[in-house]
Chains A and B, each alone.
Chain A
Amino acid sequence: MGDVVKIIAKTALIAVIMAGIVAIFATVQVPTLDFTIYIQALGIALAVLYHYVPIAQTIMPIVFVILALDLAIITFRIGMVAVKWIMKVNE
């Protein structure tokens, strides 16, 4: 019974931390940032890249998919670390 309580407590702790992070992101007001210059620079850089390396038009989506996959793996691993910590009740 003590183990179950520990697991529930740890889960609740993580849930609270997650909710806190979400709440901070949703409510903290920051001035609107103007990223136009960066976005324009990015657009021009991409256009120049596409011009010189036409195959980039095919490859860039693959690059972004790989990056997204990498990000998903990292997120999953962090999640697994959290789960392992929750389930570790014998310490």
Chain B
Amino acid sequence: MAWMKGKKWVLISVLSFFLSFIGLLGLSSPVSAFSFGVSRSFGWSNSSDQYIGSTYGSNIDIYYNPTDGTRRYYFVQGISGTTNRSIYLAGGTQPSAGTVTSIRLVPNQDIPANSLIALDIRMYGRYSLISGFSTSGFTSLISQQCEDNLVHTYHDSSSLDYTFDRNSDLTCHLLVYTSSAISNTQYLTFSGQLIEVDPTQSFGLSLNAGSYINMITESGAGGSSGLTQADKDFLAQQFASIVISGTSDSADIIDKLDEVIQSNQDNIDAINNPEWRDDERQELDDAQDDASDTAYDESAAAQSTATNLLAVVGQFVTTLTNAQPTNCNINGNLIPHLPLGNLNLCQNSPPSAITALGSLILIAFVVSMAYHVVKRMLALIGSFQR
């Protein structure tokens, strides 16, 4: 490490500049009642029951053809064997006619709490769509748009007031809000008298990769408390407009939805906490302005230097503990979306040359450090002997 002598301050300066730049990026982000993160695309876990391991798929197709003996009847309970999919069409009784009463989906990665999820379900073959999709629990279906038929669904009360009886494709675009995180071991469940199938006719169901956007609200401005009915109404209307305008890709839908909301932030009171009234919001905005004007204001959030240092050390240790090379979702940042090309740490093995070279450099670095410390220690011991 002799080469570093004399260049130490250059290195420190470059590092400080880099860190300050990142910090400025963080500080310069606009302060608003709510802000949205970057939209993410995700696929569906391809395992049989719950998330098992390394197999992922962005698309899932299930298909039944009564004339093809090799294919399994998918929409039955207890799917097994090589045809396992993470999509479950429970309630059907094969080989007689049945009604699909639930579709359970396992995302192939964690979806954080407070997220809007867009996904498409395409049905083809002969079937009858009895009612709309509905959700329960911590997920709520905000809107569903099936083809060009406008179907507004607010909250969990979904029902189509007409029945499809078709022998052609039908794509339903769904917008779902989840107040809690959905891990890759949990189901996103749609239920209801969904699809009636005829065992003598072929039927297929296709699910493309979904997209979600995480709504990061400022503290006190929502958090995981969920959306109000007004929020849902607003989102449903916007979603319908986007779908009707011809946007069918879930990633594009989510992006456009984000744009619409961002551009209407000042006029929209829709997305906020139920307690978030206009006057309170104004008060908080004023308080935020004051706080930013006085950098070292004695705010309630002020802590002692020692406490801050301890908190940073704690965060650092947590980060060290949590960093997992095989985890797709690290601190809310998806590795494939980093500016590292399409690097996917979940699936791709690193080139062995890089691994070997990296290991060599790291070992050399550690040996150098150890040598340096031993020298210091010997010098210290020597100073005692003198």
Residues of A at the B interface (CB closer than 8 Å) are 24-44, 46-57, 59-60, 62-64, 66-67, 69-70, 73, 76-77, 80
Contacts and interface: CB of A to CB of B under 8 A. Distances in A.
7 contacts: A25-B306, A32-B311, A43-B319, A46-B319, A48-B335, A60-B320, A63-B366
A48 B301 contact: no
Interface in B252-305: 295-299, 301-305
A52 B326 CA distance: 11
Interface of B is mostly: helix
A47 B377 CA distance: 33
Contact of A73 (B330, B355, B373): B373
Interface stretch (B2-10, B181-189, B357-365): B357-365
Contacts of B320: 46, 60, 64
B366 A59 contact: yes
B348 to A, nearest CB: 9
B97 interface: no
B304 A27 contact: yes
A16 B380 CA distance: 27
B301 A37 contact: no
A24 B296 CA distance: 16
B372 A29 contact: no
Contacts of B14: none
Nearest to B369: A66
Contacts of B343: 48
A33 B310 CA distance: 12
A56 to B, nearest CB: 6
Interface of A is mostly: helix
B324 A47 contact: yes
B338 interface: yes
Nearest to B323: A46
B69 interface: no
A36 to B, nearest CB: 8
Contacts of B340: 48
A35 B376 contact: no
B81 interface: no
Given A43-B330, A47-B324, A30 B380 contact: no
B354 interface: yes
Nearest to A45: B323
Contact of B369 (A26, A29, A53, A63): A63
Nearest to B376: A73
Contacts of B354: 52-53
Contacts of A51: 325-326, 345, 350
B318 to A, nearest CB: 8
A32 B303 contact: yes
Nearest to A62: B366
Interface stretch (B19-27, B45-53, B109-117, B162-170): B19-27
B38 interface: no
Nearest to A32: B301
B316 A47 contact: no
Contact of A54 (B22, B306, B325): B325
Contact of B295 (A31, A37, A49): A31
Interface string B197-217: 000000000000000000000
A73 B331 contact: no
B344 to A, nearest CB: 10
Contact of B372 (A24, A70, A77): A70
B323 A50 contact: yes
Closest 4 CB pairs of A and B: A53-B358, A50-B325, A46-B323, A29-B302
A52 B355 contact: yes
A29 B298 contact: yes
A39 B331 contact: yes
B345 to A, nearest CB: 5
A24 B305 contact: yes
A59 B373 contact: no
Contacts of A32: 301-303, 308, 311
A30 B305 contact: yes
A37 B26 CA distance: 7
B326 to A, nearest CB: 8
B241 interface: no
B327 interface: yes
Nearest to A42: B319
B11 interface: no
B370 interface: yes
